[in-house]
Chains A and B, each alone.
Chain A
């Protein structure tokens, strides 16, 4: 089975978000970047497990500038066979999806993470599926293959749905799909020699642009309530906060 895992690069999870003076962008100084956790922990690892069980290949795909190569190499160190980087700056979700779709023909499964932890869009996987005219299952927490038929459990509000679908398909991975793998020394050494091909983007217009950012308002100081007096907390929640 030929598998493609689309990965994105996001600020590390402990990042304190700060904005530039005109609020048009994040203040990127000092931000550490990682592979988007859903892409790394769940999508990539499940693809590798499927390859280990049934053969095939796992290719990593990233749309981004040369700085992203470190994230791609990490994916290769975890175990992917090779990688493609579409050499482009971010142009918005549909732009990215069109770049991915231009590379994704011929794969049996195209994996995504359920969302990026920066933009929280949850839309690129579905876009690629539509562009390729293949089935899409979002927020999948289990995926088993039997021949070319996948049985997939997807998270729904307060429960799960189990579906059956044939390849080719696109899927976005949520918690439960696999367990995080830490690359070992051998993987890191091998990753340096694995092929990473850089291709140029196709033309596609931006359909959205982030005009500005805003930080949430600061919380005022916490009001402490005596642990012996929970009637008082209930009164505050009812009369002051008006939430119960």
Chain B
């Protein structure tokens, strides 16, 4: 699997857990309602969505479930399934919370924990409901049979146009926000080009209200252009390259915007950290003996952590930027892993063309390479490339669009007077009462909203996993979500995405590292990482109780400029 494919499956999971954590953040981060049973609503969403898209139950086979609406026109489609999952989870969230919401906050937490376990047990033991302890399967995600896209029909270009529209719109939206930062890059010029001059139009006619509409419109234009170009000629590789390079550019701008203020030596220290991490992990693939490689890698990791710890405790200029250097180091490590490691092998064999080929595959992440179908290109220096658009890319566009959309909608909510009341409830309900507002009504709305987001995430999980088992919905998930929330910063919606990214980066990294061990050891490593996650939780609560991004709230009716 190319590095790009690893990143795509990573981002799918980040989207799902990002939405799940946004839900918990509405409850705890913004309103102060501690919900130890958030996974219950994730479960409701997942199973509801599955039952909407599953065909009617066949009484003669081994699976059994109460109802399958998949063959009902309109109702049995994914959009309806997701909507139903969201609504039902929201309603049940409200119902569960009602009896306890007036009580102390820890009662709510414990009650909902109990309820979530009951949900899980019901699924497990009531075999008529959703196939009991066995996996519920037999449905497929939407439009999957169109992939890999056939570019000679109209459907293929249209679908790729949609993907490009989403990616382009989101990247342009991000660039629009970053453009204000001073940078040596000609951001305004690029923005004008990538919005196809729509910003000009906005200034002159006021037809496009906000930066969000501009980016959405720019995305639509990019999608239409893609469609037209693909129908007329077949420049799939060039289109994919342009869009991919644009996203890399925006990512670069984001990184310089974020870490541009860091001095040279701070930056170098970060890079040294990232390189050090890579070096510390090198024994794993290079040494054969399990004992030796673990010992060596652990020793090197320990030395690295000790160096970092000594640095931030003894050196003044490091102490002020102790989190920023870790950020730089992590990005550097990821960059090395993504761009450099995959081409080391071919380079070692002296195969420059092969190395370039792999590099191109990873840079042009929007396209899939290899496989049986696809369009073949012969590129100078790089060699043969077989290009296609696979389902993962489509799913990624959809999931990221959902995440971005829900993030936006939530930002609108928490920065409005409604969000202000939520914060007031979190601070002191008595004051809210004394100002003529009923905290109860707001807490119920919070539970409904947060649980609905949990349901939405569950529906996406059902789509992603293509099969559901009750064991997935253990209380563990709630605590992972809590970790994500505290890691990113309770009360900070952006932090939920960062937290989810860090958690899944950890999961995927350890999965990859575990593959360097024999299967017997691998299982232990997989089990052990829950312990590491627990320790991580403690460290976060102890050292960065505010989370990496801290609270970021405050009323402003303008979410976008």
The yes or no verdict on A and B being binding partners is: no
Interface residues of A (CB under 8 A from B): none
Interface residues of B (CB under 8 A from A): none
